[in-house]
Structures are given as structure tokens and as C-alpha cells.
Amino acid sequence: MLTPTDSVSLTGPLSPAALRRAAAPLTVAVDDEARARVERGRRLFHSLRHDAGGEDRPIYGATTGFGALVGYSGRADEADQCDNTLAHLGVGQGPDLPRAIVRAALLLRVRSLAQGVSGVSAEVVDRLAAMFATDFSPAVPRHGSVGASGDLIPLAYAAQALRGRGHAYTGGHRMPAADALAAAGLRPLVLDGRDALALVNGTSLTTAALSLACDAVRAAHRALASLTCLLADVLGCDPGFLDADLLRAYGHAGAIDVGARMRHTLAGCAPSGTRPLQEPYSLRCSPQLLGAAEDALRYVDGVVGADLGGVSDNPLFFPAGAEEGAPGRVVHGGNFFGQPAAFAADLLASVAAQLGNLAERQLDLLVDPARNGGLPPMLATVPGAQHGLQGVQLATTALVAEIRRAAVPAAMQSLPTNLHNQDVVPFGTQAALRSYDMAELLALLCGSLALGLRQAVHVGARRPTASRCAALLDALADAIEPVDPDRPLDADVRAAARLLVTCDLP
């Protein structure tokens, strides 16, 4: 039996850290305040659905068909209306999404439902919360969402798995969902039409993927700032390009803040006096580039924070004030429309592409004897008899090309669908998942540069003169042997990438 080691409350906004922790067993607390909100919202839904004469009031998804078929009646039986919601959405394609994304999406979904304005049953919130104490994770195909009425198709697969249909993971194995539920000690979830629609009618998958992608790009950003300092130190560069007055004159907050961190990392650095008056832009303009990335990442942080604290669903049920003399109102609208996340994910993709380009250019500088201060070509110990970083440099070119190809904006690709009911769509899901993939490639580019820096000192570059740069080099040297003689370096690149995430960077 798995024992959760962390806990999350459904009262108040989630944090990006909570989404990261959702990959492992987690205690999700449904406190009295949250349960009271949910039960109040459920009572309001029922009171609004049935008028004084006993007739059903039209409420989208509870009494009607879906999407373009909203003008037709749904199914009268509650269980049938749940099937009516979910069955037609079982059309996803492609490989399963990473379980970390799926579980983060469901944590965000249950948090949204727990705010009490979706009209769901307390049973749905309680049972979703209970799932997180296990390692159960629905098997959700990657392709199918346009991120307009929420992430309908992927979240439908998640909902079906919680009902014991489709497939899921537990114990590291993919199996029929009913078997996975039993193995995890969970019972199949029973839903009515309102519950089913509320589970799928939100952008939780998009937001989860965007949040996790932003975390990964931020980690690469921190790593590149430190690696740039290490590169400048081992080559003997003058750190004047980080001058505080220079960057204050530039006027951009991100550059000022990144420059300050880089000066801290390079404190104690002694220039060699042998470098050109002006370094290539991949060094000289690094605080401006990394600073612009910092400004962009702060914008993405703001979008993620708003989504983590908001409610993504339709319709919503709002209790009336005491002076209104009515139970409340149902409001049909578009809070499932993932445009903010789409724009933010496209911006994040641009950041990842330029950071990846910076890492590749810095490695290219490092392996070129015409620009690296006379170190051997490709940092080979015995050029010709050995090839050093030649294969790594070739692979980084391929990785950068892949990142650039993937950086095409998704939010501008709107296509009408659903009989023009969804006549504009944001494609935020594609944008967020694409940024998540790009972040993985960016980490490998950072690992490649780190490997090059470790090898540069082995073949003759000076040992860093700044203590924090020396500590980073020592961490790399402890984890990775010098390339002497040649060997396959794929695992070394991955090891360097992992080290940059886990070590205490200056």
C-alpha cells in the first residue's frame, strides 16, 4: 500500500509545486469549507433544474444535447445522460500522455469543482481526492483536444477510466481501467450528466501541461545563466558585459535581475586578458537574451497562476445574495476557453527555442579553435585519433532544428468546428503539450553544453577562477568522466541534464 508523503488543500488556489507533486501519491484534503461549498452548489443546481411546476429548466448538459446539438433534448435517465456526455468523446488518438500531466490535470480539475459553482456532487470531489492517495492514472491519448470547450476528449478518457472503462496505469503497468481501480483499492465513479460534463468541460489538461512546461523551461533558464558564467570563466572573458550600470541603462527588469545573478556567480573571476575586446553575442548579449526570457517567463507565470486559481467550466451556478429573494442563477458562458494559456504557451515555445539556440551557439563557440582560445577542435584530446564532442555538437544541431520546427505558434491556427458552434478555437492544448516536449529537448541542449564545459577544462581550458563557477565544474566532473578516449555520450548528456536540475546552481 502506497503512503502519500505530501498534502494539498482544495481551498484556495493551487501552486505549480502542487501540480508537480501530483505525479506521486498525495493527500488531497477536502475540508469542511470545501465540502460545504460543493454541497451548496449541488443543491442550487437541483433547485434551478426543477421549477415550481416540476418541469425541467433547460440547463446545458443536464437536460440537453451537447455542442451543436444543444437545441435537442438529452436523455431523461441520469446515468444515460452521463453516457451521452462521454461516449461520443472517445475518439482520441496517439500515444498516452505522460502520467505526470494527467494526474496534474485531474488535481486541477478537482480543485475547480471544489469551488462549489459547478453543481457537482460531493461524491465526485471526495472520490477524485481519494484517487490521489494512490498511483492510479488514467490512460489518456495525446491527440484530440482543441482547447475550446475545455479539453473535452482527453478529460473524457480520464473520466471513463475513473468509471472503470478504458485503460489506466497502476504499479507502473497499463491495464484495463476496472483492474487498475481494483488494484489501487478504488471503486468505479458513478456520475450523472452534470457530473460528467463538469469533469470534461475545462482546460485543466492545458493548464497542467503549461505549468509543468514552464517549470522545466525555468530550470533550463537558470542552468543556462550558470553555464554562461562558467563558459565566460573558463575562456577567461572580461565580465564587463554584465556591468550593473550597463544593464540599468538597458532598462529591462529581467536583464537587470539576471545580470545581478550572473555577477554573483562570477564574483572573483579574473579575466585572462587574451580575449577579444568584444565577445560574440552568445556571450556579450547573454544578459539581454536571458533577461528577455525572464520577462516572458514572468508573464507565463501570471497566466498559470490565474488558471490555477480560477474555475474552468460551463455552465456555472451562483447563489443569490440575501436581498435577491431567489435561490440563485445558472450562467452559460465560456470559462472553458483556453486562450490565455494558448498565448502563454506560444510565448513559452519562443523562449525555449531561443534558449536552445543560445546553448547550441555557446557549444559551437566552445568546440571551435578559432574562437575558443586555442583549445583543440571539437575538444578532442588527440584530434583525429579521437573526436571529443563532435558527435554531441552534431546532435545539438538536430535538436535545435527540431525545437525551431515545433515553435510555430498554435494559437493563430484557429479552425471552426462543431457545426460552427466552436467557430473560433485557441488550440491551447497543442500549444502547451508542444512546449512541454520542447522543454525536454532544451534540457538535453543544456546537458550538451555542460558536457562540453567539463571536457574543455580536461583538454586545456583554465580552471574557473570564480568560486561558484569552480563548484559547478567540480559537480560536473564528479558526475561525468572526461571524454578520453571516445565513447558513446548519449547517457552522459542525459546525466548532465539531470544534474543541472538537481544540483544547487549558483
Residues β-bridged to residue 143: 93
**What φ, ψ does residue 422 adopt, rounded to 5°?**
-95, 75
Concerning whether 60 is annotated as a catalytic residue, the answer is: yes
Sign of the dihedral defined by the CA atoms of residues 344, 350, 354, 355, in that order? positive
First to last CA, the chain: 39
Is residue 485 reached through a cis peptide bond, with omega within 30 degrees of 0 on the bond before it? yes
Q: Which three cell numbers stand for residue 451?
A: 558536457
* Beta-carbon contacts of residue 318 (< 8 Å; ≥ 6 apart): 117, 328, 329, 331
Alpha helix ranges (H) inside 133-271: 152-162, 177-183, 193-200, 204-235, 244-250, 253-265
Q: Which residues contact 230 (CB under 8 A, 6 or more apart)?
A: 453, 464, 469, 472, 473
DSSP code of residue 377: G
Distance (Å, whole) CA 47 – CA 58: 12
Q: b/e for 437-446, b at 16 or more Cβ within 10 A?
A: bbbebbbbbb
CA geometry: angle at 447 spanning 441 and 453, to 5°?
145
Distance, in Å, from the CA atom of 464 to the CA atom of 467, rounded to the nearest integer, reads 7
Which residue out of 60, 157, 169, 436 is catalytically annotated? 60
* CB-neighbour burial class of residue 385 (10 A; exposed 0-12, middle 13-18, buried 19+): exposed
Instruction: Return the ∠ at Cα 143 (arms to 106 and 8), rounded to 5°.
Output: 15
C-alpha to C-alpha distances, 197 to 66, 69, 114, 472, nearest whole angstrom: 9, 14, 15, 51
Amino acid identity, position 237: C
Those residues whose C-beta lies under 8 Å from the C-beta of residue 467, and which sit 6 or more positions away, are 267, 268
Q: What is the spatial distance between Cα 29 and Cα 125, in angstroms, rounded to a whole number?
A: 10
Report helix, strand or coil for 41: helix
DSSP 53: T
The enclosing H or E element of 170 equals strand 167-170
Report residue 408: phi and psi, to 5°.
-60, 130
Please give the sequence-ordered ranges of beta strands (E in DSSP) within 43-135, or none if there are none.
Answer: 93-96
Query: Hey, which residues are catalytic here?
Result: 60
